[in-house]
Structure 1
Amino acid sequence: MFLVGLTGGIASGKSSVIQVFQQLGCAVIDVDVIARHVVQPGYPAHQRIVEAFGTEVLLEDGNINRKVLGDLIFNQPDQRQLLNSITHPEIHKEMVKETFKYFLRGYRYVILDIPLLFETKKLLKYMKHTVVVYCDRDTQLVRLMKRNNLNREDAEARIKAQLPLKDKARMANHILDNSGEWSITKRQIVLLHAKLEHSLEYLPLRLGALMGLAAIASLLYLLTRYPSAFSLAGRPRKETPRPPLGG
């Protein structure tokens, strides 16, 4: 099994693309969902956030107030780094768990929906393929204004706050161009899925895992079939009686 990192930009249509992949039966892990999950009350990251930033970052029900926390770390790199040092390890643990579940179920590849894939670069080294959901700047602007009921100035400010889609497209292995008709985009998704599904890149890890399981199974068989062979080292040696001197 191999990992595919998928990203996009605001109003590029990433969520719609993900839905099509899911309809095709693909395994998808949403990193944003995991990030919200690991900071819920009762989880280690939640407690550490409260210890680091105080109870003022909590809502009345005990959940993290994401807006207050976001305002707190805005333009404060040291505070942002502190928050990342708390949440990222927990997010990575959950990602590994989810990925392993799909591995056991026999999926050939898993899509990780990572909004900041190219901005942070932390997970890039684990991705066999990277995909960008792209649309041209004018289309992105019009869609964002319509979707969020924004004026042109506010919409442009939001787009400028992100890494430009054209830059992300240059860094990606695959581009899903969502600038035109949805039927054209959907066809690109189907073709990419077929390409990834028929790739043999999943074999090395799958074969390695099977070999490891076979080795463990063989060891367990030997332990149960010939237990004495594995316990000799722990037994005290029997001394051979010596004949009496002068006998």
Structure 2
Amino acid sequence: MMQEMEPPSWEPALDGGTLQSYRDVVVGGTFDRLHNAHKILLSACCLLAENRLLVGVSDKDLLENKMLKELIQPYGQRVEKLCEFLVDVKPSLHYDIVPLVDPCGPSVTDPDLECIVVSEETRKGGVTVNKKRLENGLSELAVHEIQLVKDPGRGVNEEGKISSSSIRQRLLGTLLQPPQKDPARPSRPYVIGLTGGSGSGKSSIAKHLECLGAFVIDVDKLGHEAYAPGGPSYNWVVEEFGEDTLNEDGTINRKVLGAKVFGNQEQLKRLTDIVWPEIAKMTQKQLDEAAGLGKAVCVLDAAVLLEAGWTSMVHEVWVAIVPEQEALRRIVARDGLSEEAARSRLQSQPNNSQRMRQSHVVLCTLWEPEITRKQVEKAWALLQQRISQD
């Protein structure tokens, strides 16, 4: 069995000696939101390479376990910024930029490569690459290691080094895309549509916003009222789905009704076509009342805001997210469901990436409640600036 290899250390000569270079050099990474640590790494690569730099850019499955993966820039955008920087540094090099969908990529199959550049974090990856190259009958690569760059401006809960994940964390609570202005929509109250999947922590964010002065409308609660006896949807639902959906006290049994529509898109559409327009009317009525009371900011706390098409009622969409595994854990603990049932619930809803494509502000409740509170306060303060400018 092959013993664990330590990558050879390499230090530039400081006494006027010649810096060793290599014809073909390889490096890999996510290269999200190209920052100074990336630029140091890539500059070293350019210095070492004489002819070609092969750059593997992480994509698809390699992004799954990244912190706040939904905020990672699209592959094409990352490659564009990478190319711009590399050509500026050393236009004479040939740059070969490829998607990286497994940890080693072409570094273990390309016979022309001579050197791999790694960071302190990825030095084990360099060892793995050389093992696989030997297994493939190729020569080992020289391993050049770059030290991590400390981040003097790191915040609470962020990494000590300059990193893309810390930069993504700093995007939480900020405006990621400008809201489209609709002249037909009243400017006051300014309406935030707050949404998020099961277990996302949406309700806790709504409470924080209420404490900061927002007028919160619980649209999910209005949905329950729409189904209640005497509610605007009650008779229609019973007529459409049968009296076997009723409890002994005459209320609609949501579990029985849910079983009839779950997994059946046609039945589900019949139900939502009845209920969603009525909920929208109830919501608009509360918005009108808030306007009459002089409320400056209203928050629509609505799980199905996007699916129901209620974005026409709001100025901005804010979304609460957590990784799927954390959402599963919360649903199982909160609702007593099996993991399979919890996963089925999540899969029936839009995922984080789908929600974020239609959102202006993203908030994440993965960490301690204090971290969430600070995110919300940041988002609120930036919102006040936008409103005052308008």
TM, length-normalised to structure 2: 0.48
Task: Measure, in 2, the Cα distance between the counterparts of 1:39 and 1:201.
Answer: 39
Residues 109 and 196, structure 1, Cα contact 8 Å, conserved in 2: no
Q: For 1:18, which of 206, 209, 212 is the aligned residue?
A: 206
The residue that corresponds to 2:282 in the other structure is: 94
Superposed, 1:18-97 pairs within 5 Å as: 18-97=206-285
The residue that corresponds to 1:128 in the other structure is: 315
The residue that corresponds to 1:103 in the other structure is: 291
Deviation at 1:47, TM superposition (A): 1.6
The residue that corresponds to 2:382 in the other structure is: 195
Q: 1:194/1:77 Cα in 2 relative to 1: closer, same or farther (>3 Å)?
A: same
The residue that corresponds to 2:362 in the other structure is: 175
The residue that corresponds to 1:166 in the other structure is: 353
Structure 1 window deviating more from structure 2 (35-44 vs 1-10): it is 35-44
Task: Measure, in 2, the Cα distance between the counterparts of 1:95 and 1:31.
Answer: 7
Task: Measure, in 1, the Cα distance between the counterparts of 2:378 and 2:289.
Answer: 26
The alignment's C-alpha RMSD in Å is 2.3
Structure with a larger share of its residues in strand: 2
Residues 237 and 271, structure 2, Cα contact 8 Å, conserved in 1: yes
The reply on whether 1:141 has 2:328 as its aligned counterpart is yes
Q: 1:179-209 CA deviation, whole Å, 9 max, x = no partner?
A: 2222111011112122223433797xxxxxx
Deviation at 1:52, TM superposition (A): 1.9
Q: 1:195/1:161 Cα in 2 relative to 1: closer, same or farther (>3 Å)?
A: same
Deviation at 1:131, TM superposition (A): 0.6
Deviation at 1:24, TM superposition (A): 1.9
Task: Measure, in 1, the Cα distance between the counterparts of 2:235 and 2:340.
Answer: 39
- Alignment: residue pair count: 202
Q: 1:193-238 CA deviation, whole Å, 9 max, x = no partner?
A: 22223433797xxxxxxxxxxxxxxxxxxxxxxxxxxxxxxxxxxx
Q: 1:24-45 CA deviation, whole Å, 9 max, x = no partner?
A: 2211111111111122212342
Q: 1:144/1:88 Cα in 2 relative to 1: closer, same or farther (>3 Å)?
A: closer
Task: Measure, in 2, the Cα distance between the counterparts of 1:49 and 1:35.
Answer: 13
Secondary structure (helix, strand or coil) at the match of 1:117 reads: coil
Task: Measure, in 2, the Cα distance between the counterparts of 1:85 and 1:159.
Answer: 22
Q: 1:127/1:69 Cα in 2 relative to 1: closer, same or farther (>3 Å)?
A: same
Task: Measure, in 2, the Cα distance between the counterparts of 1:139 and 1:75.
Answer: 24
Structure 1 window deviating more from structure 2 (60-69 vs 38-47): it is 38-47
Structure with a larger share of its residues in helix: 1
Secondary structure (helix, strand or coil) at the match of 1:110 reads: strand
Secondary structure (helix, strand or coil) at the match of 1:90 reads: helix
Secondary structure (helix, strand or coil) at the match of 1:200 reads: helix
Structure 1 window deviating more from structure 2 (149-158 vs 99-108): it is 149-158
Q: 1:89/1:9 Cα in 2 relative to 1: closer, same or farther (>3 Å)?
A: closer
Deviation at 1:53, TM superposition (A): 2.1
Deviation at 1:54, TM superposition (A): 2.2
Q: 1:87-111 CA deviation, whole Å, 9 max, x = no partner?
A: 2222111111100111111112211
Task: Measure, in 2, the Cα distance between the counterparts of 1:67 and 1:153.
Answer: 17
Task: Measure, in 1, the Cα distance between the counterparts of 2:280 and 2:350.
Answer: 23
Q: 1:109-138 CA deviation, whole Å, 9 max, x = no partner?
A: 2111111223x1511233211111112234
Look up the equivalent residue of 2:302 and give its one-letter code.
I
Secondary structure (helix, strand or coil) at the match of 2:239 reads: helix
Unaligned runs of 5+ in 2: 1-187
Residues 134 and 166, structure 1, Cα contact 8 Å, conserved in 2: no
Q: 1:54/1:144 Cα in 2 relative to 1: closer, same or farther (>3 Å)?
A: closer
Q: 1:147/1:68 Cα in 2 relative to 1: closer, same or farther (>3 Å)?
A: closer
Q: 1:105/1:66 Cα in 2 relative to 1: closer, same or farther (>3 Å)?
A: same
Task: Measure, in 2, the Cα distance between the counterparts of 1:153 and 1:72.
Answer: 19
Look up the equivalent residue of 2:228 and give its one-letter code.
Q
Q: Which has the higher contact order (CA 8 A, sep 6+)?
A: 1
